[in-house]
Amino acid sequence: MEVTFKLQVFEGPLDLLLHLVTSNKVRIDDIPIAEILQQYLDYLEQLRSLNIEVTSDFIVMAAQLIYIKSRMLLPKDEDPNAEDPRLSLARRLEEYKLFKETAVRLKEREFLGRELMVKPPETIEKDPIYHGRHEGRELVSALMSMELVKPKPEAPLRAFSGIVGHVTVSIEEQAEAILKKLSFIGHGRLMDFFDGVHDRSTAVAVFLAILDLTRNNKITLGEDDLITMGGPTE
């Protein structure tokens, strides 16, 4: 029957010592050297019994532990400021523990960002064509909100005032006037084409003429209210 041994592998002597201190639930600055040394040597003996090569750094640490133990067995020095022989080892263990915990946290951050894909920024070309779709009442509401024509408060209310004497304003004529103006100035803002408009009928005709010219690609109305001659280029 084949027997399988599983022995925990440590990265170095400090890793083994830190494991022993943690397993025995003792403070790093108050290590029971005799007990920890015995467990340390037992581990090395297990490695030898399994024909696993023991590296020199493990042997050097064993020698240091034996040296610390021997110093602790000697009579105490009369000097009250004499340093505990375990403090040098405790400082090394504290430093090693800090680096090991930091490495674990950095490893966790690596896994957190492993599934994150970042798309590089790209330039979005401006589309000169306005693709919005609106109902007629929305366009009328937008035109009214421009307050191009302010009614005169002193004008008397008369029956059939909207029918009798009503002046028809041609959308085609306003379109020709817009194209003629653009041929001279090259471009202009939307409100520029309402200069000199004093009645609601003309304002509506100008507005519809701009929409018709835009639809037929004779002019371009940008999102910044800038009107230019000709339709958008492909």
Q: Which residues lie across from 188 on neighbouring strands?
A: 227
Average pLDDT, the chain: 77
Alpha-helical (H) ranges within 55-131 are 56-73, 87-114
Domain limits, the chain? 13-74+84-114, 136-150+167-229
CA 224 – CA 226 distance, rounded (Å): 5
The answer for residues whose C-beta is within 8 angstroms of residue 36's C-beta and 6 or more apart is: 17, 20, 21, 24, 26, 65
- Distance in Å from the first CA to the final CA of the chain: 82
- Which of the four pLDDT bands, split at 50, 70 and 90, describes residue 103? confident
For 141, the token pair is 């509401």
Which has more pLDDT, 211 or 81? 211
Query: DSSP 3-state assignment of 229?
Result: strand
Q: Which DSSP helix (H) or strand (E) runs through 210?
A: helix 200-215
Residue 40 in contact with residue 52, Cβ under 8 Å?
Answer: no
Chain segment 6-54, per-residue pLDDT in tens: 557 787 888 888 888 888 888 887 888 888 889 889 888 888 887 777 7
